[in-house]
Chain A
Amino acid sequence: MKNTILIGFIFLLIGCESDFDLIHDGDPIPIVYCLLDPGEEIQTIRLTKTFVSDQGRGLPDSVELIYYQTQVNLAIEKMDGDQAIEHTEFNAVTVQKEPGLFSDEYHIVYQSSMKVTGNSTYRLIIYIPEEDKLIYSYTKTPGDFSLVDPAYPKLRSIHLMPDHNPVFHWTQAENAIIYQLCLQLNYYEIDSIGTSLRSEVVSLNTVIKNDNPGNYYVYDINSTQFYITLGNSMKEDLNLFRAFHSLDAFVVAGGSELAIHYQTQHEGDPFRIMDFTNIQNGIGVFSSISYSYTRGFKVTNQTVDSLAYGQFTKQLNFLDRDGNRKDQ
């Protein structure tokens, strides 16, 4: 009897494993980002998943951790009330990303050819058979809207100088509450081989407008900011010249989900970035955008000269109003 008690004590002492894992490898949570774009023929869904890193440190050194390695079914449906009237399946496509924090081995997005119409409801459905998990979300695409100003590109020139900043006027788009004002600079690039026409988009202001504007929304853009952004985004190359061709003005309207996501990110609180989601059984954003363009503006001579010799863009080698570079 005494021996039995002794053996029992020994078992108790050895059997009490006091170490346990603080981090439990639970089911990964799907992370979904999809922005329906009527201006694109191919729509894209980005699907990743949460992962557990070593003691919460570091980024994954392998993309296998962040992508589903098993079969995943993705589809987007156009809805009419409760009924799906169009069904589009999405397939995995491997893409190469630019070097950055995350591994640049390869990356996976899901793409399909799909026409997106304005002022319509779409449903995103993702089914992961291995986990028997269904993820879904809804979004309403923005309706038609118009860029009222700048207008008449055949007649008017845009003056991008701080003395008179250009003013954007645009009408309200149904289902949209976030708008981005942009200018696209079209220019010739002239090098020893020849001349090519190129474009550079300059995103100027992102504004959230939830009120009824009456006729249209009004927002004036900062001309100096245009030159600063352009100077930072375009590459300096002393072996070529650039010559102004035209300027396109456009407004991008985004859905309410995108607006909330933008606001959360804009506030800069890292603990709130992942707070907002409109994905059921997952996290992320399913939203949509729409555009209104006016293309082909000329600019005033002062604007061309500012592009050529202004402090923010002089290194880009743009030709002045007379087609010269005075510093050459």
Chain B
Amino acid sequence: MKTFLNRVLLIVLILLATFSCEPEVITNPDIDNTYIPTGILEVNFEIKHIWMPTDRIVRVGLHVAEEAQLLYQGNYIQSANVTDNMPFYSFHLPPGSYYYEAIIACICSGDSCSAGGFPGNQFAQKHTMGKFIIYDKEKTLVTPTFQ
């Protein structure tokens, strides 16, 4: 009798163990789990200039637009808050082709800026732009160069 009861108990335990391990997947309807393809643009915005000390040249702007003419119109999709304390900037973008614009300015007084190749004196700016392509889950590195 005791053996019979033990066997019944064992069967019940096995059945419970078999059927109770069905994990219920709970999904939160408020969280959109749709995967959005994204790549990263990395910009090595180092200041190099052969005619002038680099501490007298400052970063002024770094923008990304979908078309080249949109850069001229100021219709950027992203802009960085550039600083003199950081040369690397990154942008998270959906895959596709884009254009970037990088801007530097000379802060020397007198005629040092024009003598150094800037189009004007203090606060004269140089612009450069380029095309780049963003791939899903990949990094694209660009290094702006100024004439």
Q: Interface of A with B (CB < 8 Å)?
A: 148-152, 154-159, 161, 163-167, 169, 216, 300-302, 321
Contacts and interface: CB of A to CB of B under 8 A. Distances in A.
Q: Across chains A and B, which 3 residue pairs bring their CB atoms closest together, nearest first?
A: A159-B79, A166-B81, A155-B60
B98 interface: no
Interface string B59-83: 0110000000000001110111111
Given A149-B83, A155-B58, A161-B78, 4 more contacts: A155-B125, A156-B81, A163-B92, A165-B81
Interface string B82-106: 1111100101100000000000010
A227 to B, nearest CB: 16
Main SS at interface, chain B:
loop
Contact of A152 (B58, B76, B79, B85): B58
A169 B85 CA distance: 9
B135 interface: no
A152 B80 CA distance: 15
A35 to B, nearest CB: 31
Contacts, number: 57
B61 A157 contact: yes
B120 to A, nearest CB: 13
B105 A155 contact: yes
Main SS at interface, chain A:
loop
Interface string B38-63: 00000000000000000000101100
A300 B79 contact: yes
A159 B85 contact: no
Contacts of B83: 149-151, 167, 169
Contacts of A301: 74-76
A152 to B, nearest CB: 6
Contacts of A154: 123
Contacts of A165: 81
Contacts of A163: 78, 91-92
A164 B80 contact: yes
Interface in B102-139: 105, 107, 123, 125
A163 B86 CA distance: 17
Contacts of B125: 155
B84 A159 contact: no
A151 B81 CA distance: 10
A175 B86 CA distance: 28
A302 B123 contact: no
Contacts of B61: 156-157
B60 A164 contact: no
7 contacts: A149-B84, A155-B123, A156-B60, A159-B81, A164-B78, A167-B86, A300-B76
Contacts of B105: 152, 155
Contacts of B89: 164
Which of B60, B74, B79, B81 is packed against the most chain A CB atoms within 10 Å? B81
A150 B60 CA distance: 11
A206 to B, nearest CB: 21
Given A154-B123, A163-B92, A301-B74, A149 B85 contact: yes
Contact of A302 (B60, B76, B84, B85): B76
Nearest to B107: A152
Contacts of B84: 149, 151
Nearest to B105: A155
Contacts of B74: 300-301, 321
A154 B107 CA distance: 11
B58 A158 contact: no
A167 B81 contact: yes
B58 A148 contact: no
Which of A148, A151, A156, A321 is packed against the most chain B CB atoms within 10 Å? A156
B60 A159 contact: no
Contacts of A302: 76, 79
B94 to A, nearest CB: 12
Nearest to A215: B85
Contacts of B82: 156
Nearest to B81: A166
Contacts of A166: 81
A157 B103 CA distance: 12
Contacts of B107: 152
A266 B64 CA distance: 40
A164 B81 contact: yes
Contacts of B58: 151-152, 155
Contacts of A159: 79-81
